[in-house]
C-alpha cells in the first residue's frame, strides 16, 4: 500500500512515528530518511511504502526475539513439536527454565507472532506459527545471491 502524506490525500492507518513527525512538524524528508527504515521519494507529495516498512518491522521484531539464546531454544522446541504444539510444562522440563522466565520468553515470542498459545483444560500449549516463520525466511531469501547472478 502506498500512502500519500500531505494535503487531503493523507492516509491515517498504520502511521509510524516518523510519518507522524513528518506530517505534524513538516520535517525535511532527507532528515527523515536518515532515521527511517523505509524509502522516501520526494515529489510535491511524499510517497511512503507502508507495506514494505510494515513487513520490515515485523521481520525485524521476529529476528530480535529469536536473537536471544533462551528464546531460540524455546522456539526450536515448539517448532519441533509440529502443528499439535507442546505443553509449556514440557518445554520447561526439557530446557530446565524457571516458570516465570519461561513465561516471559513465551510472551515475547507470541508478541512477535512466532507462536500462539491454546489451553486444553489446565494445560497450556505453545504452537509455532509456521506462516510467520516462512515469511521471515522468504524475506531473508528474497535477495539471496542476487549480486552473483549479474
Query: Regarding predicted confidence, which is higher, 57 or 4?
Result: 57
Average pLDDT over residues 68-95: 97
Q: What is the CATH number of the domain that holds 119?
A: 1.10.10.10
pLDDT at 11 over 70: no
What domain count does the chain have? 2
DSSP string across the chain: -EEEESGGGB--TT--HHHHHHHHH---HHHHHHH-SS-EEESSSEEEEHHHHHHHHHHHHHHHHHTSHHHHHHHHHHHHTGGG-EEHHHHHHHHT--HHHHHHHHHHHHHTTSEEEEEETTEEEEEE-HHHHHHHHHHHHTTTTGGGG-
pLDDT at 91 over 80: yes
Question: Could you tell me if residue 33 is inside a domain?
Answer: yes
Buried b (16+ CB within 10 A) or exposed e, 58-68: bbebbeebbee
Q: State the Cα–Cα distance between residues 71 and 83, nearest whole angstrom.
A: 19
53-81 pLDDT tens trace: 778 899 999 999 999 999 999 999 999 99
**Residue 10 has what DSSP assignment?**
B
Looking at the fold, whether 79 and 124 belong to one and the same domain comes out as yes
Under the banding of pLDDT at 50, 70 and 90, the label for residue 147 is confident
Question: Could you tell me if residue 147 is inside a domain?
Answer: no
**Residue 7 has what DSSP assignment?**
G
Question: Could you tell me if residue 114 is inside a domain?
Answer: yes
Q: State the Cα–Cα distance between residues 52 and 63, nearest whole angstrom.
A: 16
Kindly tell me the burial class for residue 7, based on how many C-beta atoms sit within 10 Å of its own C-beta (0-12, 13-18, 19 or more): exposed
Structural domain boundaries, residue 128: 67-136
Looking at the fold, whether 81 and 47 belong to one and the same domain comes out as no
Amino acid at each position: 500500500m502506498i500512502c500519500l502524506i500531505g494535503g487531503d490525500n493523507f492516509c491515517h492507518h498504520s502511521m509510524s512515528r516518523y510519518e507522524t513527525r513528518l506530517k505534524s512538524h513538516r520535517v525535511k524528508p532527507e532528515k527523515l530518511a536518515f532515521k527511517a527504515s523505509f524509502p522516501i521519494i520526494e515529489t510535491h507529495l511524499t510517497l511512503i511504502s507502508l507495506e514494505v516498512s510494515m513487513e520490515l518491522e515485523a521481520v525485524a521484531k521476529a529476528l530480535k526475539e529469536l536473537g536471544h539464546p533462551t528464546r531460540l531454544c524455546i522456539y526450536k522446541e515448539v517448532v519441533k513439536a509440529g502443528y499439535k504444539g507442546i505443553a509449556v510444562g514440557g518445554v520447561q522440563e526439557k530446557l530446565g527454565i524457571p516458570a516465570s522466565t519461561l513465561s516471559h520468553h513465551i510472551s515475547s515470542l507470541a508478541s512477535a507472532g512466532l507462536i500462539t498459545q491454546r489451553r486444553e483444560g489446565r494445560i497450556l500449549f505453545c504452537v509455532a506459527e509456521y506462516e510467520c516463520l516462512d515469511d521471515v525466511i522468504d524475506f531473508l531469501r528474497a535477495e539471496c545471491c542476487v549480486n552473483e547472478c549479474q
